[in-house]
Structure formats: C-alpha cells, structure tokens
Amino acid sequence: MAFIVLFSTMSFVVDMHYCGDTLVDTAIFQKAETCGMDMPDIPSETCVVTKKNCCTDKQLLVDGQEELQSVPDQLMLVQQWFVTSFVYAYMGLFEAPDNELDAYQYYSPPTVVKDIYKIDETYLI
C-alpha cells in the first residue's frame, strides 16, 4: 500500500533520444545518451549551407497526484456492517479451541439386557 501511495504521488520525467525514427536511448531521472550523430551548432556567419539535424530529443512528463483523498468521516450502514462482521470473524481466528469438549458427557450408555456373546458362545481367544 505504501508503494502505491509513493508511486502515485511521485512526478518524474522520461527522456528519449531518437535518431531519425529509431528510439536510441530512454532514461528516467537523467538525460538520455545521444547516438553521437548530433550536429554541432555552428554560427550562420561561417556557414553558407545549413543541414538539418536527424536527431531529436523528447521528454515525457509524468505528473503525480498532488492531493490524496482523506478517510471519509462517516461510513454508510453497509460499510459499518461489513467492518463489524470482518472484525468479529477476524478475532475468532485467534481464539484457542476448546479441547475439553466432551460430546458424550450427557448421554448414558444403553442398558445391557443379555450378554449376547455368552448366548452366541463367541469368545475371543
């Protein structure tokens, strides 16, 4: 979340150098390197013929967000229900399970009318 806030509020410049129609170099936070084919600026008094430079530099400005939206003062009823149920369910994750639970403590065993193993004469040896 902190990275999202950081990058949405940060402004930066992308500098691009083109040689003809081909992108040669791209740089962020610094000037892009040239291809070495830039023509020097020669005063017009010494030169009669001027040539057009084939290289161009372009800059793309990515402007960050100036103001962040603050937390709303009032929550709607649906949002209050969601927050309440989320906190209740989340707090239930940290409760220790009850290991002392005995499901059969209130039930009595069935009464034995006859010893069936004696009647059938089946004994374990």
Verdict on whether the full-model pTM lies above 0.75:
no
pLDDT at 84 (0 to 100) = 92
pLDDT at 71 (0 to 100) = 66
Domain range summary for the chain, segments of one domain joined by +: 2-62
- Return the structure tokens found at 61: 């400005």
- Return the structure tokens found at 113: 């009318």
H helices present in the chain, as ranges: 2-9, 77-92, 116-119
What DSSP letter does each residue of 35-74 carry, written as one string?
Answer: -S-PPP---TTT-SS-----EEEEEEEEPPPSSPPPPPSS
Tens digit of pLDDT for each residue in 36-85?
A: 776 665 555 665 555 667 888 899 888 877 776 666 667 788 888 999 99
pLDDT at 64 (0 to 100) = 78
Tens digit of pLDDT for each residue in 94-122?
A: 877 767 777 788 888 888 888 877 788 77
Q: At 86, is the pLDDT very low, low, confident or very high (cuts 50, 70, 90)?
A: very high
Mean pLDDT of 24-38: 82
Residue pair 16/60 in contact by the 8 Å Cβ criterion: yes
